[in-house]
Chains A and B, each alone.
Chain A
């Protein structure tokens, strides 16, 4: 197992180097001129040049690149110009916000989609199969920001059940001391039940929005893969041997149907991190997606590079986790590894 992890990590190094080079070049190739942007509306040509010098953008590209990689090696991601903060700090502060939201959304989604998919597969053509089809089609065809806005309109504006979409906590609560960065955990660690309730109620709508969006691929994949497995010979054998339907479905069929579902899950997770950008915008969520988009809009190089790099590292780790999970679920993979 350890050698497998080591091998996977070794493979990741060239792709990370590639990511560093490509993001550096891409951000430099963006049409905007950060110096003109940050010199302000009333700037003269000299003022723009002054700013350019201050930002080190007057240096040749190759020198800028070496300076950048040298800083990276020292754990320095540079400074964001739009928010004025070091990128590393910002990402560290914002990543948990996005991760908490995405994970919760994914958990909600799994909790609904997998049973739904399994039930739909065991009773094809029944009302539950149709329900599965309708919900997933609806979920995937509604753009996330639209679902988000509708939820806000109904549950906050019309009914008043949900708190104001103002980020992670109600404005009058202060954030818990950071341990994990996940407010749900940190508030409990701080024994602050009120803040926990506030954090949870702030999470419900955005997490539901993400869950609705990600229901479709998970439920559909579960259904398809269950159908395939249920039609296979070992299931027929198990049934013929008189095993109870629950044992057949849960122990034999479901476990075998899990592999494609896990693969889909990893794809959905990366998907959600992308979809997050819009959800974060709608719910004023201080996450990493909205940070990157704002940086992109103002040609702010450092955060964009930092964001892409962080994401790349996350993908590598995610893929690793998925590979390990494969091994846990399917012994054949372990043997090959």
Chain B
């Protein structure tokens, strides 16, 4: 080595030695950013930032919920385990300062200081345009609006700049709750109209890529399938200023890695992990794990009642006696679910949903029923499940297969890819299957309307039709709208009893929503949509 080179390399070394001071500065800025930032890791991310869009997925709902405001929202109450839980029956104004409900309509007075992210004030015409949009775009949003009898643009009337009236189509208990779900969000109509085209009059292409709301957060960067970055809207007028300044939501497809990120303290919050992980994390106590039952949700075994052998109620009852309920609770759910089976014989039916049925694993009874039905030697069939939820569905189906074999029912397991599942459900040809249904609106008649009514919606996966059932369900809806409690209660009890004697679908359990977070993260709230509400959350 030449002398000059040597000197050079020594001075280079000295410069290198001085370097570590620089990262120090970087990392303290880093620490600040960290304490005001919420890092969420989950399996999937949004495909559209607007819930009115074509085929917006469930993660997209979370963006909509946090970046848009609605006219009204729910109050909080203390739920199971003291976790804040939305109060189904109490509403508060969000964009509306106050609202008055009478027999034929509801009138909203808007907040005068509410502004969209671009600074334009929120006015009554934005509200009308947004609600018109929700009932007109078709697909899921329109469908959800119709669940609350909100179907026509004429129902939304602008009174003045800050007053809007929503006229009722008919008396329906679900109209007000339906205005507090995610769909009727208020969109910046001027901004979106500017970016709409003749082919796309509602500007769906524009709002797919960016948020145009007045909500507490706005999306500043979205890389589909990779990350969503949301910044707080410091001018948010509809509630106290949220504590979290920035939300970084990263997609980490590997469940094991999400758990590692949480346990190492790199991620703040995660959901969609296997039940076993949640149970272990609960047990070792390093993280806060919140588990709350899905409101109005049930995992069940369904049977197609239009075709033999499941058209015979005796066979269905036999299956109901043959299912390995407790094994499923222990080995598949690791206890993270509410059992929906084995209620005591003498327990009267209550006016709540979901509630356990009275079947229990009883092989002798099941065999006797099979013999009565004329299937003493059993039969062959297939059991289908949705591969998107294979983590639960696959072991569950294997256990069911094993149990049914004991009463002579030989089943083949049919794994249906996620993309196909809905097509298969719509065909209504699968003889035996497992599935989950959960309704946003937490009312028994709402659940039964979708799942048991003879109008045969896609969720009536069993193709169950019974005039008596329809009478109970329609009766309960009418009674609820009219406020006739006695008739309502008798109808609700009526349809629950009938659903459990006829047993076209056998409830297994009410699943839990599991969320794991660092100990320094607080303010988690349970919402009917089961996604996160960043507005109430805080760190440190």
Chain A residues whose C-beta falls within 8 Å of the C-beta of B225 in the assembled complex: 82-83, 286, 290-291, 294
Q: Which of A16-74 contact B (CB under 8 A)?
A: 30-34, 36-45, 47-48, 50-51, 54
Q: Given A32-B417, A47-B143, A299-B419: A286 and B223 within 8 A (CB)?
A: yes
Whole-angstrom CA separation of A290 from B224 in the bound complex: 12
Q: Given A31-B417, A37-B419, A194-B23: A47 and B138 within 8 A (CB)?
A: yes
Whole-angstrom CA separation of A48 from B139 in the bound complex: 8
Out of B143, B250, B458, which one reaches A167, CB within 8 Å?
Answer: B250
Q: Are B457 and A54 in contact (CB under 8 A)?
A: no
Chain A residues whose C-beta falls within 8 Å of the C-beta of B256 in the assembled complex: 149, 152-153
B48 within 8 A of A: yes
Whole-angstrom CA separation of A273 from B254 in the bound complex: 19
Chain B residues whose C-beta falls within 8 Å of the C-beta of A38 in the assembled complex: 54-55
Chain B residues whose C-beta falls within 8 Å of the C-beta of A164 in the assembled complex: 261, 264, 266-267
Q: Are B47 and A84 in contact (CB under 8 A)?
A: yes
Chain A residues whose C-beta falls within 8 Å of the C-beta of B250 in the assembled complex: 166-167, 171, 284
B257 within 8 A of A: yes
- Name the distance in Å between B323's Cβ and chain A's nearest Cβ: 25
Q: Given A81-B55, A84-B224, A164-B264: A298 and B144 within 8 A (CB)?
A: no
Q: Which of A274-312 contact B (CB under 8 A)?
A: 281-284, 286, 290-291, 294, 297-299
Chain A residues whose C-beta falls within 8 Å of the C-beta of B28 in the assembled complex: none
Q: Which of B177-224 contact A (CB under 8 A)?
A: 208-209, 223-224
A145 nearest in chain B by CB position: B254
A85 within 8 A of B: yes
Chain B residues whose C-beta falls within 8 Å of the C-beta of A93 in the assembled complex: 223
A172 within 8 A of B: yes
Q: Are A157 and B458 in contact (CB under 8 A)?
A: no
Q: Are B223 and A84 in contact (CB under 8 A)?
A: no
A217 within 8 A of B: no
Whole-angstrom CA separation of A291 from B226 in the bound complex: 10
Whole-angstrom CA separation of A165 from B267 in the bound complex: 11
Q: Are B139 and A50 in contact (CB under 8 A)?
A: yes
- Name the distance in Å between B441's Cβ and chain A's nearest Cβ: 12
B39 nearest in chain A by CB position: A171
- Name the distance in Å between A38's Cβ and chain B's nearest Cβ: 3
Q: Given A54-B54, A84-B47: A43 and B254 within 8 A (CB)?
A: no
Chain B residues whose C-beta falls within 8 Å of the C-beta of A30 in the assembled complex: 419
Out of B142, B209, B419, B457, which one reaches A298, CB within 8 Å?
Answer: B419
A156 within 8 A of B: yes
Whole-angstrom CA separation of A37 from B426 in the bound complex: 11
Q: Are B419 and A32 in contact (CB under 8 A)?
A: yes
Chain B residues whose C-beta falls within 8 Å of the C-beta of A33 in the assembled complex: 419-420, 422-423
B263 within 8 A of A: yes
Q: Which of B398-449 contact A (CB under 8 A)?
A: 417-420, 422-423, 426
Q: Given A172-B30, A281-B253, A294-B225: A51 and B54 within 8 A (CB)?
A: yes
Q: Are A44 and B457 in contact (CB under 8 A)?
A: yes
B352 within 8 A of A: no
- Contact flags (1/0) for A151-179 with B, using CB distance below 8 Å? 01100110010001111000110000000
Whole-angstrom CA separation of A278 from B458 in the bound complex: 35
- Name the distance in Å between B199's Cβ and chain A's nearest Cβ: 10
Q: Are B140 and A42 in contact (CB under 8 A)?
A: yes
Q: Are A40 and B55 in contact (CB under 8 A)?
A: yes
- Name the distance in Å between B535's Cβ and chain A's nearest Cβ: 21
Q: Are B426 and A45 in contact (CB under 8 A)?
A: yes
B532 within 8 A of A: no
A300 nearest in chain B by CB position: B419
Whole-angstrom CA separation of A48 from B182 in the bound complex: 21
Whole-angstrom CA separation of A47 from B254 in the bound complex: 34
Chain B residues whose C-beta falls within 8 Å of the C-beta of A282 in the assembled complex: 254, 257
A164 nearest in chain B by CB position: B266
- Name the distance in Å between B221's Cβ and chain A's nearest Cβ: 9
Chain A residues whose C-beta falls within 8 Å of the C-beta of B254 in the assembled complex: 149, 165, 281-282, 284
- Name the distance in Å between A168's Cβ and chain B's nearest Cβ: 9
- Contact flags (1/0) for B151-182 with A, using CB distance below 8 Å? 00000000000000000000000000000000
B251 nearest in chain A by CB position: A284
B248 within 8 A of A: yes
Q: Are A297 and B418 in contact (CB under 8 A)?
A: yes
Chain B residues whose C-beta falls within 8 Å of the C-beta of A80 in the assembled complex: 224
Whole-angstrom CA separation of A291 from B422 in the bound complex: 22
B252 within 8 A of A: yes
Whole-angstrom CA separation of A152 from B254 in the bound complex: 11
Question: Chain A CB within 10 Å — which of B30, B53, B56, B139 has the most?
Answer: B139
Chain A residues whose C-beta falls within 8 Å of the C-beta of B376 in the assembled complex: none
Q: Given A157-B263, A172-B33: A43 and B418 within 8 A (CB)?
A: no
Out of B140, B261, B419, which one reaches A47, CB within 8 Å?
Answer: B140
Additional A-B contacts beyond A152-B257, A166-B266, A297-B417 (5; CB < 8 A)? A38-B55, A47-B142, A50-B138, A284-B253, A297-B418
- Residue contacts A-B, CB under 8 angstroms, 20 given: A32-B417, A38-B54, A39-B140, A40-B55, A40-B139, A44-B458, A45-B426, A47-B139, A47-B142, A51-B55, A84-B209, A149-B257, A156-B264, A164-B267, A166-B250, A166-B261, A172-B37, A281-B254, A282-B254, A294-B225
Closest 5 CB pairs of A and B: A38-B55, A32-B419, A83-B224, A40-B140, A299-B419
